[in-house]
Structure 1
Amino acid sequence: MSDQPPRAERVDGSPPQREKPPPTAHLRRRRFSFVWLIPIVAAGIALYLGYRTLVQQGPLITITFNNAFGLSEGQTQVKYKAVALGTVETIDLSPDNSHVVVRVRMNGVGTRFLTDHARFWVVRPHFSPSNFSGLDTLVSGAYIEVDPGAPGGRYRAHFTGLQDPPGVRSDQPGHTYVLKAESIGSLSSGSPVFYRDVQVGEVLAYDLGDGLGPVTINVFVRAPYDRLVRPESHFYNSSGVSAGFQGGGFHIEFQSLQAIIAGGVTFDLPKEAADSAPSPNSAVFPLFASKGEAEAAGYQNQIPIVAYFQTSVSGLSRGSPVNVFGIQVGEVTEVKLLLNPNKGTAKVRVAMQLQPERVFSANEFPKNETAPVVLQKMVDRGLRAVLESGSLITGQKQISLEVVPGAKPAKITREGSALVMPSEGGGLDNIMSSLSDVTTKLSKIPFDALGSNLNKLLVTANDTIGGPEVKQSLTSLSTTLKDVQQLVKNTNDGLAPTLKALPGLTKSLQTTLHAATSTLGQVGRGYGSDSDFQRNLEQLMDQANGALRSIKLLADFLDRHPEALILGRTGRATGG
């Protein structure tokens, strides 16, 4: 059997026609448009960025600051060594309005900085005498800097920002030391620390404590200079300018211009500390007020001396030098006034420290002699403590140990651990005291009575000189001198006639000279030496002396040539 249906025959008997199959439907495919790639790629990028953001996004932390000056939401970044670690999201005030709360979204790199050792602060332009920093923020704006601190630590998401940048970063090698001082002077945070005029560190901070004890100052010394800080090192305040008279001239000393403006600390390394080990971190040192005090503290042998004075010590103060023959051997440590209300007396106690190492080396100082014995030997030879002027311009005084001629014997005594040195007045005070004594003695001289007596004496002298006896004596003396001159002239022609009158002339001359001597004695007692009459008398006496010399020559000639009395100076006698 066939499953096919019977063919239908046509009425006219013609064979039936075959029916055409129905037409087949064909679907037309739509082509892919590349326009769709743009949103697909964009969606893929968005998904990738979202995934990356979710993967790399760090935690949200909060940092509190005193103010938000320079900070902006969505712009201010958190940086470490100029690498961005996060961005500020929001800035709000605290509930009590005392500070601001800054929320920062950290990235994946910045997450490892979030420990309790980390420190945050705002970097802004900073101008101070000690340094200038943050100048780049004038263009780029402020940012938050982070210091990760020491390795380790626990995770933390809430921080309190620093008001100022820390002096030492965790990645900076070096050591921190503690200094103790009575006052800080012009020191402040950021003041430099020097060694041989090279800046090797800075002052970190200071603490007054309870206000009764010394001030604590923390300083940082960078490596490798921290190995120069040893137990024998001395720190001293090198701030400002030191001026004074030294070596006969005006001396000015300062560390640097930076130390003048911002203050500074300097430390040294003594030669005897060459083999010592460096000091550990947080070692404590005293901070001396000056270089001189630091040098004095380095002397191992210190001999305390005390001297008492009862004169003015104005200009003498702590640190004043103690000299021997102009060479400093110590310094004054205390000047104190002592009053005794019971006796009503007062004196000044001056404490000193003698430092033999200023003069003697360790090998030169006598080993078998003690300080009291050596000083007693010197005191026996007149050594005394004398207060003298160091500068007449500034009025500064100093103590001089010098030998005083004729000093009374004294003994060295003890006052606790100090030796009591005998003192002696000296210097300008002694000169003024001597002048005062001279003035007192001069004031006791009766100048008025002396003037009155002198006036009476001059009146008497005038009466005496103007009298007839003096005039007659002078007339006789003048006549005699003329005769003597005529006699000398006549001897040139011949001695015989002249010698006949010689005895009478000699007698007359002696009488006249005796009268003149008596008269001049009265003149010398009653008349001044500076007068015209006195000068005339002196001229007459010179003439009289010339006449007597002529007579003496005549007598000598007659003694050698007696025949001249007969022959005169002519003939054979002349040839002799």
Structure 2
Amino acid sequence: MKKNASANPSATVSQTSPFSSVVWLIPLLALITGAWLLIQHVRSTGPEITLYTDNAEGIEVNNTVIKVLNVTVGRVTSIKLRDDEKGVELTAQLSADVKDLMRQDTQFWIVKPRIDQSGITGLNTLVSGAYIAFTPGHSDKNADTFQLADLPPVTAIGQSGLRLRLQSHSDKMLGAGSPVLYGDINVGQVESANFNPRERVVYYQIYINSPNEELIGRDVHFWLQTGLKIEASGGGIKIDSAPLPALISGAIAFAAPAQGKGAAVDNNTEFTLYNSRSELDNLPSERALYYVAFFRQSVRGLAVGAPVEYKGLNIGTVAEVPYFERNDSHQLFANGWVPVRIRLEPARMEINASEQSHQVWQSQIQAAMNKGLVATLASGNLLTGNLYVELSDAPSSQAALRPQTLYRGDTVIGSRSGGLDALQNQLSDLLAKFNKLPLEQTIAELNGSLKELRTLLAQPQTRQLSQELNHTLRELQQTLQGVSPGSPLYSDVQSTLKNLDRTLQDAQPTLRTLKQQPNALIFSPGANDPIPKGVR
């Protein structure tokens, strides 16, 4: 049976536009939103930087943030060991707001609780955790790799000041953050300190806060100031205490000389850092005069920098001790002397006086040496045993030690033993003279005399003589009792003396008359002298 063809329906196909449906608007809007978010993300995302540090203590991925002026501007995204195994490499993503602040001189450091010479800092990180801070740089070149420091830099954003470089040959080294002092005033800090083992030099970079840079000049001197300074001298014990920050970590101090600070300096100007203020004070001047003194006594307690005094005035210092010429110490036991080089400063002798030339002072000192000026070692302090050199022109019977006129090009000044050594020599001479006395013979003679005396006392005649002396003394005592104030003899003597006194008083007029007129007993006192008659 055949089916009817007209019974099958026919399909009608029509084409519609793909944008006519509302369903397609959803992915389109999603695409547009994603593009906009991508653009906003790109616009808000700043540079990615790399930080190098020694360790990652307190730093966590996605938790440790980066701040500037206490505003969060980034976050640590990864932590890994460096390829050269010299520390840790941190990767941080910053916001776009700080992309222009990433310069070659931008400084990063980690903020965490810390106790140092500046006090207690970073206590807020006990709750929030450690974070990374930075200070923008001012270089013209951009950078994306930085070193992460443990300590914050001295300078803050927008702060002005002066940076200086110091060189020190001391075996002491201060750490970053140590104060820089002018007197007892904190005017700056140590930014960095590095030791060069080949040169054996410590290099410092310090920062002087504004406006304290006005104190710095070309002639300013710097020195290390650490802890307590106890100085024992003839004037007593002096204790110089630095401020508390300097007691904890040490400090760098500076001062201008008497003639002024000198011309102004620029950033990164280099200065020499001396070990102490005493080393600075003992620096030789251009007019310094050098002499050599030879001492036979011990120089223990005499150190470089010890004072040289004349009549109590400090006129110089000890430059070198000992001061042997090449191979001269081979004759140490043969000669028995130790050379000491001293330095005299004319400026210390020009008290309220104008400056004189080197030659004038040299002539004056030579004239004094010709008159007997010598050097002796004196005790500066009996407790510490410190010695100093004393110049004296007092005459002495002891000959001055002057083995030669010049020694290593310096004039030799005569020397004598002084202080305790001189006293010891005098005691030795006294004991030597005492030992020369014939004490044994004298003692033997004295013992013989004592024996003879004992023999004499043991004889019967001596004992009888003693009895007779006792009898005589008793009789004398009885006789004296007879003339005592209560005895009759004493009353008779008193009566006789009174009569004699009255007789002398009655004879006084007659004696005066005889004194005035010796012939008064022959002639009348008022008559004229008789005139002899002639011979018939």
User: When the two structures are superposed, what TM-score results if normalisation uses the length of structure 2?
Assistant: 0.74
Q: How many matched pairs? A: 465
* 1:92 aligned residue: 80
Q: What is the distance in 1 between the residues matched to 2:490 and 2:88?
A: 135
CA deviation map 1:379-409 (0-9, x unaligned): 2333211101111111111111122323658
Return 42-51 or 85-94, whichever deviates more.
Answer: 42-51
CA deviation map 1:65-106 (0-9, x unaligned): 333222233332222222332222233344566543332222
Question: CA, structure 1 residues 104+69, in 2 after alignment: closer, same or farther (shift >3 Å)?
Answer: same
Question: CA, structure 1 residues 158+459, in 2 after alignment: closer, same or farther (shift >3 Å)?
Answer: closer
* 1:116 aligned residue: 104
Question: Given residue 272 of structure 2, which amino acid in structure 1 is its aligned partner?
Answer: P
Counterpart contact for 1:150–1:170, Cα < 8 Å: no
Return 309-318 or 337-346, whichever deviates more.
Answer: 337-346
- The structure 1 residue matched to 2:222, chosen from 220, 224, 235, is 235
Q: What is the distance in 1 between the residues matched to 2:84 and 2:373?
A: 75
Q: What is the distance in 2 between the residues matched to 1:87 and 1:168?
A: 24
Question: Given residue 350 of structure 2, which amino acid in structure 1 is its aligned partner?
Answer: F
CA deviation after TM superposition for structure 1 residue 352, in Å: 1.8
Return 46-55 or 111-120, whichever deviates more.
Answer: 46-55
* 2:519 aligned residue: none
Return 178-187 or 466-475, whichever deviates more.
Answer: 466-475
Question: CA, structure 1 residues 59+453, in 2 after alignment: closer, same or farther (shift >3 Å)?
Answer: same
Counterpart contact for 1:186–1:239, Cα < 8 Å: no
* 2:367 aligned residue: 377
CA deviation after TM superposition for structure 1 residue 573, in Å: 8.3
Question: Given residue 280 of structure 1, which amino acid in structure 2 is its aligned partner?
Answer: D
CA deviation after TM superposition for structure 1 residue 494, in Å: 11
* Residue pairs, 1:441-520, within 5 angstroms: 441-464=433-456, 468=461
Question: Given residue 319 of structure 2, which amino acid in structure 1 is its aligned partner?
Answer: T
- The structure 2 residue matched to 1:255, chosen from 223, 242, 246, is 242
Counterpart contact for 1:304–1:352, Cα < 8 Å: yes
Q: What is the distance in 2 between the residues matched to 1:101 and 1:170?
A: 26
Q: What is the distance in 2 between the residues matched to 1:571 and 1:88?
A: 138
Counterpart contact for 1:235–1:267, Cα < 8 Å: yes
Counterpart contact for 1:75–1:87, Cα < 8 Å: yes
* 1:60 aligned residue: 48
Counterpart contact for 2:102–2:137, Cα < 8 Å: no
- The structure 2 residue matched to 1:392, chosen from 382, 395, 416, is 382
* 1:182 aligned residue: 169
- The structure 1 residue matched to 2:57, chosen from 56, 64, 69, is 69
Counterpart contact for 2:67–2:132, Cα < 8 Å: yes
CA deviation after TM superposition for structure 1 residue 302, in Å: 2.1
Counterpart contact for 1:337–1:346, Cα < 8 Å: no
Counterpart contact for 1:89–1:105, Cα < 8 Å: yes
Counterpart contact for 1:149–1:169, Cα < 8 Å: no
Counterpart contact for 1:337–1:347, Cα < 8 Å: no
* 1:364 aligned residue: 354
Q: What is the distance in 1 between the residues matched to 2:55 and 2:401?
A: 74
Secondary structure of 1:273's aligned partner: coil
Question: CA, structure 1 residues 346+205, in 2 after alignment: closer, same or farther (shift >3 Å)?
Answer: farther
Question: Given residue 145 of structure 1, which amino acid in structure 2 is its aligned partner?
Answer: A
CA deviation after TM superposition for structure 1 residue 378, in Å: 1.9
Question: CA, structure 1 residues 341+196, in 2 after alignment: closer, same or farther (shift >3 Å)?
Answer: closer
Q: What is the distance in 2 between the residues matched to 1:50 and 1:572?
A: 158
Q: What is the distance in 2 between the residues matched to 1:88 and 1:570?
A: 135
CA deviation map 1:178-232 (0-9, x unaligned): 3232214252222111002101112233333243443333322222222212222
* 1:279 aligned residue: 265
Question: Is 1:150 aligned to residue 138 of structure 2?
Answer: yes
Question: Given residue 445 of structure 2, which amino acid in structure 1 is its aligned partner?
Answer: N
Q: What is the distance in 1 between the residues matched to 2:410 and 2:159?
A: 49
Counterpart contact for 2:315–2:344, Cα < 8 Å: yes
* 1:422 aligned residue: 414
Counterpart contact for 1:380–1:409, Cα < 8 Å: no
CA deviation map 1:318-358 (0-9, x unaligned): 12111112222221121116423498223212122222323
Counterpart contact for 2:307–2:389, Cα < 8 Å: yes
Counterpart contact for 2:117–2:245, Cα < 8 Å: yes
CA deviation after TM superposition for structure 1 residue 435, in Å: 1.6
CA deviation after TM superposition for structure 1 residue 51, in Å: 4.1
Q: What is the distance in 2 between the residues matched to 1:86 and 1:349?
A: 70
Question: Given residue 165 of structure 2, which amino acid in structure 1 is its aligned partner?
Answer: V
Give unpaired runs (5+ residues) of structure 2.
1-27, 508-536
Counterpart contact for 2:400–2:414, Cα < 8 Å: no
CA deviation map 1:91-138 (0-9, x unaligned): 334456654333222221111123333333322223334554333322
* 1:200 aligned residue: 187
* 1:288 aligned residue: 274
* Residue pairs, 1:211-226, within 5 angstroms: 211-226=198-213
Q: What is the distance in 2 between the residues matched to 1:300 and 1:255?
A: 31
CA deviation map 1:401-451 (0-9, x unaligned): 122323658999444553322111111111122222323333444544433
* 1:402 aligned residue: 392
- The structure 1 residue matched to 2:299, chosen from 313, 317, 335, is 313
Question: Is 1:438 aligned to residue 425 of structure 2?
Answer: no
- The structure 2 residue matched to 1:101, chosen from 78, 89, 94, is 89
Q: What is the distance in 1 between the residues matched to 2:446 and 2:121?
A: 90
Q: What is the distance in 2 between the residues matched to 1:221 and 1:443?
A: 73
Return 257-266 or 184-193, whichever deviates more.
Answer: 184-193
CA deviation map 1:365-387 (0-9, x unaligned): 44596222111222233321110
Considering only CA atoms, is the larger Rg found in Structure 1 or Structure 2? 1
Secondary structure of 2:188's aligned partner: strand
Secondary structure of 2:340's aligned partner: strand
* 1:536 aligned residue: none
Q: What is the distance in 2 between the residues matched to 1:368 and 1:192?
A: 40
* 1:26 aligned residue: none
Q: What is the distance in 2 between the residues matched to 1:372 and 1:65?
A: 62
CA deviation map 1:136-193 (0-9, x unaligned): 322222222223322311x333334335444445743222223232214252222111
Q: What is the distance in 2 between the residues matched to 1:208 and 1:368?
A: 40
* 1:127 aligned residue: 115
- The structure 1 residue matched to 2:336, chosen from 343, 346, 358, is 346
* 2:148 aligned residue: 161
Give unpaired runs (5+ residues) of structure 1.
1-39, 496-556, 558-567
Q: Percent identity?
A: 27
Question: CA, structure 1 residues 574+473, in 2 after alignment: closer, same or farther (shift >3 Å)?
Answer: farther
Question: CA, structure 1 residues 433+409, in 2 after alignment: closer, same or farther (shift >3 Å)?
Answer: closer
